[in-house]
A and B are shown apart, each in its own frame.
Chain A
């Protein structure tokens, strides 16, 4: 590798006695500067790749967090089923997103609706995309499908699950992300020209693209399937069907919080970028840090508000409700985390908590049963998050995160006019419409051919026993009661409820 040093003794031979060999001198200096430039370029690739890769790993950890949240929120007899759906989201999503999902989402140059390059990662790495970016986007894609599985938990046939999950991760979600995140997308805020309303919609890490998509799909699935048996009694009163492990719910919530530090700040994709003059202490690394702060503040505020809100409404301090409130705050701030001040994030979280509580009350009134309250949380708080961004996005931040169109609109309450706010509303409507248009008929079709919901017997016994080979928890050996001899017969799962203990905690 060429030397980066430059000393006078290197130059004097070129200056000679009385003549200056100007060309040689210039070539010499320029070569040195090129070497420095190349080294810097290499360093910035390494730094940015490290940053993006570790962010991707964190977003992947959210898959585990959501699996644990789901497991803890359902009854013990359905634990295997819901966890398998989470594992399959990641595995099947990996294949479908690699084969065509990524291409639909980011295959530029293309049109405003759908991408058309990089099928099977052909031509990657290119100057626009490298492998870390694919991995990061894959981690996002598998998150969306996971959300939906929460809404239809405890009563959905596994085959139906495989079908809708592949469709959502391989088609519905990538198209949505193309509209708002690709440089070609018709509503994208990073489009170079012809921005929607002169603004484009700002959904930085996906309150709409990820959370609303998952939540609205779940809404239709749960509506079409109907509530779980026993959830609403014959007089219409609601019966709480408690999850089997609060510890898992908390474990999952904390893992999701941990992973959100990759989800939100990681969406900057690069960290080594100065804003304005080089050599200042302020650059994209500062924005990354600020985004982590806004994320944290929104979640915390939502959690606290839920704590006190539910204390008023139901009379006690409820940990699982607080965890859900926390996650609602995160889902909401995800849209505007990079473009708002920290104080605004507190407002975001505060409102998100009430949005979630309100939607839960509404769901009960309408006899809508969502075991994870996923439609209310991800759909409702996600939509609020988009609105919040339209109100509170700051001018300086918007121009740093989405450079290239100075004088662009920003938050309504910050003096930026109504155009960004309007674009956000369009995003909400369009996502609701697109996801309904694609997923509702799919769920309805599955329902009509009896592939969607499990039978009453299966639901009462628990899907683990009937479809997944046995219960998740076996705290006492089957042979504990046979003190004298050893087992001589194979254990077969029976279809009638056994005396297995189901009230277990982890």
Chain B
């Protein structure tokens, strides 16, 4: 049977849209690499950048072999997918390669988040192990629950939780909270970096080595977020029957606007908030605040009004500031503040959606704008408790699932003494001790050690 003209055109347009969105999400990998590099000390730059590269390359293999299958396979199991291993029978009527690539770009982002929490003190071999496991198993299961039409939390399932399903459009929970909770356990089990808290428990600032890279990374992440959020519509050519000129293209534009407004608001609020608290205008805090706003709006970006996105960003800025204060008091050390940002702001994002989702937009996103359909929507807009309840269930399930999978893994690695590096290696820096040399050779005329044995020899010369 010949393919009809109409479906060729539709499929081409949708594929272009999804593929370019996937490329944008991939750019976020570069952005996160730069953000990480700039936020750690110079002696650990090689290490953290390599972990980001490894996330992408190792994650590709595990996600291709079985991660995508666990996430999107099968049509009946609400917990885990059971088909499409190694992309068998793709393309079929439901999924094509462009969809796989798009989902792959999401999957490799998750492990990157965790790498920030355990930065500067984790053994590289361990990193390979948990990254593979997180991207290939832990994350895809959560994705299945929320994003597969058979998932038990999905708003597209035939058996909607609380009559609603949980709305996590581009993954405040599925992506950001999963990465953050894993990072929480890794960082907590490992303990703070050497020298981070002094003998009295007071925090010692450990500044990143390059603010330019942090800003570069933040802007690249912002740029890539235009693929992350609006791209999650998957198809742009879907018209809404009750209108004459609106369709997914309208909602996609609106999603890009809500994304921008949430991040912008969070950035500005962080600017003035930190100015009040620490007395100066801090570029790095503003960058983190911005990202927190994006993380938070990721859940509800497609189903809220632009003004609500401003509220989202405003609250997420204070949540990040507050959680950072709490972390210091609890002597919790996360070099990228990834747990606080992705976990805290991600959780707020889920709640925010349960409060502010608009029914018309929910129907656009999940029922292609069909008329005569009703759905639970935001509590503050009069939509009842069904949606908010589902959001809370999603939040708790993610925390529980990631804890029972990654917690014991990190603990076992810790007990086997392959999680954290030794104190000497940490003081020397991972680059010289495990990665063959420093990232920067700014002063070649100085007596810089070229490899670890030389470094140790120089140390003993000093003392």
Contacts and interface: CB of A to CB of B under 8 A. Distances in A.
Contacts of B4: 4
A123 interface: no
B287 A87 contact: yes
Contacts of B174: none
Contact of B253 (A87, A90, A135, A477): A135
Contacts of A71: 212, 215
A486 B194 contact: yes
A463 to B, nearest CB: 9
Q: Which 5 A-B pairs have the closest CB atoms?
A: A131-B253, A94-B264, A49-B249, A64-B219, A472-B211
B205 interface: yes
10 contacts: A49-B236, A64-B223, A67-B216, A87-B287, A88-B286, A469-B280, A469-B284, A477-B41, A488-B199, A504-B442
B260 interface: yes
Contacts of A158: 281
Contacts of A46: 13-14, 17, 236-237, 247-249
A6 to B, nearest CB: 12
B290 interface: yes
A68 B286 CA distance: 17
Contact of B247 (A45, A84, A490): A45
Interface of B: 4, 6, 9-10, 13-14, 16-17, 20, 24, 41-43, 194-195, 198-199, 202, 204-205, 207-213, 215-216, 218-220, 222-223, 226-227, 230, 236-237, 239, 245-250, 252-254, 256-257, 260-261, 263-265, 267-268, 271, 278, 280-284, 286-287, 290, 306-307, 310, 440, 442-443, 459, 462-463
Interface residues of chain A: helix, strand, loop or mixed (majority): helix
Contacts of B219: 61, 63-64, 67, 87
A88 B41 contact: no
A504 B253 CA distance: 42
A431 B194 CA distance: 58
Interface of A: 4, 38-39, 41-43, 45-50, 53-54, 56-57, 60-61, 63-64, 67-68, 71, 79-81, 83-84, 86-88, 90-95, 98, 120-121, 125, 127, 130-135, 138, 158, 245, 248, 251, 467-477, 479, 483-484, 486-491, 501, 504-506
Contact of A42 (B24, B222, B237): B237
A491 B246 CA distance: 57
Contact of A53 (B202, B204, B208, B252): B252
A416 B307 CA distance: 48
Given A43-B13, A46-B237, A83 B463 contact: no
A6 B236 CA distance: 27
Nearest to A47: B13
B129 to A, nearest CB: 29
A49 B268 contact: no
A486 B215 contact: no
A186 to B, nearest CB: 29
B29 to A, nearest CB: 16
Contacts of A138: 260
Contacts of B202: 490
Contact of A88 (B211, B271, B306): B271
A304 B13 CA distance: 39
A301 B265 CA distance: 41
Given A94-B264, A484-B463, A4 B287 contact: no
A39 B245 contact: no
Contact of B218 (A60, A79, A87, A484): A87
A502 to B, nearest CB: 11
A506 B215 CA distance: 13
Given A83-B215, A91-B267, A491-B204, 20 more contacts: A38-B239, A43-B13, A50-B236, A54-B20, A60-B223, A64-B223, A67-B219, A79-B212, A81-B283, A86-B215, A87-B218, A132-B253, A245-B212, A468-B280, A468-B283, A473-B211, A473-B212, A474-B210, A490-B204, A501-B442
A2 B208 CA distance: 60
A134 B264 contact: no
B102 to A, nearest CB: 15
Given A39-B6, A94-B264, A472 B250 contact: no
Given A61-B223, A486-B194, A486-B195, A50 B216 contact: no
B217 to A, nearest CB: 10
Given A67-B216, A95-B310, A474-B41, A50 B249 contact: yes
B257 A68 contact: no
B68 to A, nearest CB: 25
Given A46-B13, A121-B257, A472 B210 contact: yes
- Residue with the highest number of chain B CB atoms closer than 10 Å, among A41, A42, A45, A93: A42
Nearest to A95: B264
A235 B367 CA distance: 74
A50 B199 contact: no
Contact of B198 (A80, A471, A486): A486
Contact of A135 (B6, B208, B256, B462): B256
B57 to A, nearest CB: 24
B263 A42 contact: no
A466 to B, nearest CB: 8
- Residue with the highest number of chain B CB atoms closer than 10 Å, among A39, A94, A471, A506: A94
A84 B263 contact: no
Contacts of A127: 245
A146 to B, nearest CB: 12
Contacts of B252: 49, 53, 131-132
Given A46-B249, A131-B253, A477-B41, A80 B6 contact: no
B6 to A, nearest CB: 6
A42 B209 contact: no
A42 B199 CA distance: 66
B220 to A, nearest CB: 7
